[in-house]
Amino acid sequence: MAKSIVQEFTKGLWAEVPPFRLVLGLCPTLAVTKSLENGVGMGVAVTFVLVCSNVLISLLRNAIPKKVRIACYIIVIATFVTVVELVMQAYAYPLFLQLGIFIPLIVVNCILLGRAEAFAAKNKVIASLADGLGMGIGFTLALAALSVFREILGNGTLTFPFIGYSIHNVLGPSFQPFVFLVQAPGAFVCLGLMLCIMNMLGKK
Amino acid sequence: MSDFLLLVISCIFVNNILLAQYLGNCPFLGVSKRMETAIGMAMAVVFVLVMAGAITWVVNTFALKALSLEYLSTLAFILVIASLVQFVEMFLKKSIPALYAGLGIFLPLITTNCAVMGVCLINIKEEYNFLQALTASFAYAVGFGLALVLFAGIRERILLARVPRPLQDTAIGLVGAGMMSLAFFAFKGMA
């Protein structure tokens, strides 16, 4: 039993890391990875919602009627998203402004509904917690990887989240930022290349 | 009148919902493999987005603002959208079966299409009046459809090309989307 919980946790980190393997939740992946700070902020918000909604849905799994289950899941998820929105507005206002409409849009992030339907509705609370945490951390790491790449090459800086420490001119003072990467087309191309790298590493 | 024309052009081309605002990317990659499904999805989105834009505007103005419950907008909007999609589905099944057969499978998918929710939130954020919100919703939806159909055309061509193995399928699709987004970037000069 203990082993399987570890497995539920670790599968989200590599084997089924959401944006790359399952190709779910692409919109925030593309939109907020302009800087490491935004990427990690978004990842933490999604992780929180994912863990809470997974646990609650797993607790309620025998009480929710099958026919209206999707609506019930959405209400649970929307409640936690509202919590995140208000907490961020109070304690992380600059990040709240940066992420903008992508915070309320966590509601329609397919990862959340996908995990609720595919996992939490069928499994026990502890396993659902592990699944949510693993998927959330996997999502955060994926966002962080993409945003480090885009921030260093596209802007020339690197800002560490939470401690507010930032390095200017990571690649030396004469480096010309590759602005293409922090704009919309760069987001698509970067994610495409990232998927390509994952495929090369994954398939032996 | 010219204001509305400007709004329409800006929503379709300059601020294209898919390629400049990064919304609705899951269906963009999911249903763009074949032209037929892309057209079906595009039509379904136009249909639902215009209605959702209008209804959420009304709900926000007359219910949430009047009771100063704006912080509940996330919850309210998603409920409105989810029930709207359900109603539209039932209505079409009963009264316009031909259209239902065409849109059928795409309708439930729209609930979690972030383009719909995103446009509703943008309408509120930009403080559009009712007519502007309706125009913007329609124009964003047309922009979504346009990008989706063009992209489906590109992907049908990619199928015929020889793509390196690790890049196959979604990866090359994303790179292609990037190129298309670059092309749409040219419209930025118009605004």
Q: Would you state the pLDDT for residue B54?
A: 93
pLDDT digits (tens, 9 = 90+) for B149-188: 999 999 888 888 888 888 887 888 889 899 998 888 888 7
Q: Would you state the pLDDT for residue A66?
A: 82
Considering only the beta carbons, identify the residue of A27, A189, A200 that sits closest to B166: A200
Q: Would you state the pLDDT for residue A85?
A: 92
Q: How confident is residue B105, by pLDDT bands cut at 50, 70 and 90?
A: low
Q: Would you state the pLDDT for residue A1?
A: 46
Q: Which residues of B touch A191 (CB under 8 A)?
A: 174
Q: Which residues of B touch A100 (CB under 8 A)?
A: 125
**By CA distance, what is B120's nearest residue in A?**
A101
Q: Would you state the pLDDT for residue B146?
A: 92
Considering only the beta carbons, identify the residue of B72, B74, B170 that sits closest to A195: B170
**By CA distance, what is A108's nearest residue in B?**
B112
Report the residue count for chain B. Answer: 191
CA distance B85 to B52: 9
For residues B27-40, average pLDDT:
82
Q: What's the angle, vertex CA B123, arms to CA A182 and CA B79, rounded to 5?
A: 105
Q: What's the angle, vertex CA B134, arms to CA B132 and CA B140, rounded to 5?
A: 95
Report ipTM (2 d.p.): 0.83
How far, in Å, are A64, A72, A91, A130, A135 from residue A58 at the CA level? 10, 12, 29, 12, 16
Q: Which residues of B touch A30 (CB under 8 A)?
A: 22, 25
Q: Is the pLDDT of residue B57 over 50?
A: yes
Intervals of chain A under pLDDT 50: 1, 204
Q: How many of the other CB atoms lie within 10 Å of CB of B58?
A: 13
DSSP alpha helix (H) spans, chain A: 2-11, 26-31, 36-59, 69-91, 93-99, 110-115, 125-155, 184-202
Among A73-82, B49-58, B94-103, the minimum mean pLDDT is found in: B94-103
For residues B74-78, average pLDDT:
88
Q: Is the pLDDT of residue B87 over 70?
A: yes
pTM of this structure:
0.86
Q: Would you state the pLDDT for residue B25?
A: 82
**By CA distance, what is B112's nearest residue in A?**
A108
* Helix/strand/coil for A156: coil
Q: Which residues of A touch B173 (CB under 8 A)?
A: 192
pLDDT digits (tens, 9 = 90+) for A71-124: 888 889 999 999 999 999 999 888 888 888 888 888 888 788 888 888 888 888
Domain spans of chain B?
Answer: 24-153
Sorted by sequence, the CB contacts under 8 Å of residue B156 that are 6+ apart come out as B33, B34, B35
Q: Would you state the pLDDT for residue A203?
A: 59
Half-sphere exposure of A107 (CA within 13 A, CB side): 33
* Helix/strand/coil for B17: coil
CA distance B178 to B171: 11
Q: Would you state the pLDDT for residue B104?
A: 63
Q: Would you state the pLDDT for residue B142?
A: 94
